Amino acid sequence: MLEVLSENRELRARVEEAEHMLTQVEIERLPSFTIGFKRGEARGKAEGKAEGKAEGKAQIVRHLLHRLDVTKTSELLGLPPEEVEQILASGDDRAP
């Protein structure tokens, strides 16, 4: 809309000048950038923790399954047998 209005009022040069000025703004210093960055960082940490827990659980399940069956592993860890089987079937170190 700003572009349309600037054309109607022959303000193209001013809009281009303002656009050039905006490219020189250090967005990292803006409060909105800082707020967004902190939110993203917190979300990333939470996702990383959850992923790490799932990977750790899967590794433990796999190690136990080398020595025990699904039922005993399930009982020992307090996990449903279906989850133990899913981890076993997944083929990597991440839980479903």
d(CA 53, CA 46): 11
In a domain, 96, yes or no: no
Of the two residues 91 and 57, the one the predictor is more confident about is: 57
In a domain, 11, yes or no: yes
In the block, which residue shows the tokens 């981890």? 87
In a domain, 95, yes or no: no
In a domain, 21, yes or no: yes
Domain count, the chain: 1
Mean model confidence pLDDT for the chain? 85
In a domain, 65, yes or no: yes
Q: Which residues neighbour 70 within 8 Å (Cβ) at sequence distance 6 or greater? A: 81, 84, 85, 88
Contact 59, 73 (CB under 8 A): no
Q: Domain limits at 13?
A: 2-90
pLDDT at position 6 is 67
Whole-structure pTM value: 0.56
Q: Which residues neighbour 27 within 8 Å (Cβ) at sequence distance 6 or greater? A: 33
Q: What is the pLDDT of residues 25-71, one digit of tens each?
A: 777 888 888 999 999 999 999 999 999 999 999 999 999 999 999 99
